């Protein structure tokens, strides 16, 4: 919950609160702040926008300029959210800083639509029906096709990054790890259980198919109610994957060439189907 804080002067038009031992300086239009989530990079609060009377989510990053890596991550997420406009992808409503000058600029906040639940929480509470699974996965594919068509790889798809409202409308969240496809990559992305084999091997160049793998893992989890590959570490993760998919053909290994769900869960990424219209066909027929 929020509580007033006294320290350095507050920028005119802003008010200061302490939320989970962290100072928040936000415009006066945003009230009733309440912490709803936190992670390694920041905290998210729900709030009421007094101008629109609607609920919003405000994200504050932890010291976004403390290092070059943190700065790039913050800039990347802000830049992508400013340009994304799609029904199944979260959008940016507002961005602000409480710092009055460029010399004092240390932090900023992002305001997005508020969605009360994510897919992970929903799956813990109830078993999903086939019709709901079909509708949710169709929306996930639509959102993925949109960001992939813009040359973006999300790189951190998981149930906790998929917001679902009371009308079963899905939005993809959290673009802090998203990258453009031409960039050199790193393996330290994607929550382990949803990580494609090429990321486990720490290959420096991969494509949107890593998101397709994650989407397939999410689909399996919605159907069975269980995580598909709950590895304890990277080696255990790979063992669980190969136990289900089988080991690669020796000729493919020597050459170093590395029905919807089977195409999406191919171990070798070049054989894995991307989010093309062929992916949509069976799901559209079931709606």
Q: Is 51 annotated as a binding residue?
A: no
Q: How far is CA 250 from CA 227, 237, 272, in A?
A: 29, 21, 18
- Stated pTM of the model: 0.76
Cβ(30)–Cβ(49) under 8 Å? yes
Say yes or no: 167 and 276 in one domain. yes
The total number of structural domains in the chain stands at: 2
Q: Which residues contact 204 (CB under 8 A, 6 or more apart)?
A: 184, 185, 186
The pLDDT tens digits of the residues spanning 100-147 come to: 888 888 889 999 999 989 999 999 999 999 999 999 999 999 999 999
Say yes or no: 123 and 107 in one domain. no
Tokens at residue 104, please?
A: 């004092």
The 3-state DSSP class for residue 43 equals strand
**For the chain, how many residues are written?**
287
**Hey, what's the torsion of the CAs at 203, 206, 209, 212, to 10 degrees?**
60
38 inside domain: yes
DSSP lists the bridge partners of residue 109 as 60, 96
Q: E strands along 20-159, which residues? A: 22-27, 30-38, 42-49, 54-61, 94-96, 109-113, 117-118, 152-153
Q: Which residues contact 159 (CB under 8 A, 6 or more apart)?
A: 118, 119, 120, 123, 218, 221
Say yes or no: 53 and 109 in one domain. yes
Say yes or no: 101 and 226 in one domain. no
**CATH assignment at residue 161:** 1.10.510.10
Residues labelled catalytic: 156
The pLDDT of residue 202 is above 90? no
The pLDDT tens digits of the residues spanning 135-186 come to: 999 999 999 999 999 888 888 899 999 999 999 999 998 876 655 554 544 4
Say yes or no: 109 and 183 in one domain. no
12 inside domain: yes
Say yes or no: 123 and 109 in one domain. no
Nearest-angstrom CA–CA distance, 41 and 278: 36
Which domain, by its residues, includes 101? 3-64+94-113
88 inside domain: no
49 inside domain: yes
The pLDDT tens digits of the residues spanning 37-88 come to: 876 677 899 999 999 999 999 999 888 888 888 888 888 888 888 888 999 9
Say yes or no: 217 and 108 in one domain. no
**CATH assignment at residue 12:** 3.30.200.20
Say yes or no: 124 and 265 in one domain. yes
Say yes or no: 212 and 239 in one domain. yes
Say yes or no: 48 and 121 in one domain. no
Say yes or no: 168 and 225 in one domain. yes
77 inside domain: no
191 inside domain: yes
Nearest-angstrom CA–CA distance, 144 and 275: 7
245 inside domain: yes
Say yes or no: 257 and 152 in one domain. yes
Nearest-angstrom CA–CA distance, 178 and 262: 25
């Amino acid at each position: 919950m929020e509580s007033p804080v006294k320290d350095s002067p507050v920028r005119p038009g802003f008010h200061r609160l302490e939320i989970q031992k962290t100072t928040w300086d936000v415009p006066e239009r945003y009230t009733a702040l309440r912490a709803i989530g936190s992670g390694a990079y920041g905290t998210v609060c729900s709030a009421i926008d007094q101008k629109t009377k609607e609920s919003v989510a405000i994200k504050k990053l932890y010291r976004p300029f403390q290092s070059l890596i943190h700065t790039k991550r913050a800039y990347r997420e802000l830049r992508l959210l400013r340009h994304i406009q799609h029904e199944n992808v979260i959008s940016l409503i507002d961005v602000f800083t409480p710092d009055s000058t460029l010399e004092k600029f240390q932090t900023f906040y992002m305001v997005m639509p508020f969605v009360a639940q994510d897919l992970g929480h929903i799956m813990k509470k109830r078993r999903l029906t086939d019709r709901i699974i079909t509708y949710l996965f169709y929306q996930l594919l639509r959102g993925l096709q949109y960001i992939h068509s813009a040359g973006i790889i999300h790189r951190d798809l998981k149930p906790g990054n998929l917001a679902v409202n009371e009308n079963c409308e899905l939005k993809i969240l959290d673009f802090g790890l998203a990258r453009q496809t031409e960039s050199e990559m790193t393996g330290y992305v994607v929550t382990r259980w949803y990580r494609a084999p090429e990321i486990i091997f720490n290959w420096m160049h991969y494509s949107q198919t890593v998101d397709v793998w994650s989407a397939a893992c999410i689909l399996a989890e919605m159907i069975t109610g269980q995580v598909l590959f709950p590895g304890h570490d990277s080696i255990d993760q790979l063992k669980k994957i190969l136990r289900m998919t089988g080991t690669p053909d020796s000729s493919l290994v020597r050459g170093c060439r590395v029905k919807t769900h089977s195409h999406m869960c191919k171990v070798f990424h070049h054989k894995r189907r991307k989010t093309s219209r062929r992916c949509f066909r069976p799901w559209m027929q079931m709606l």
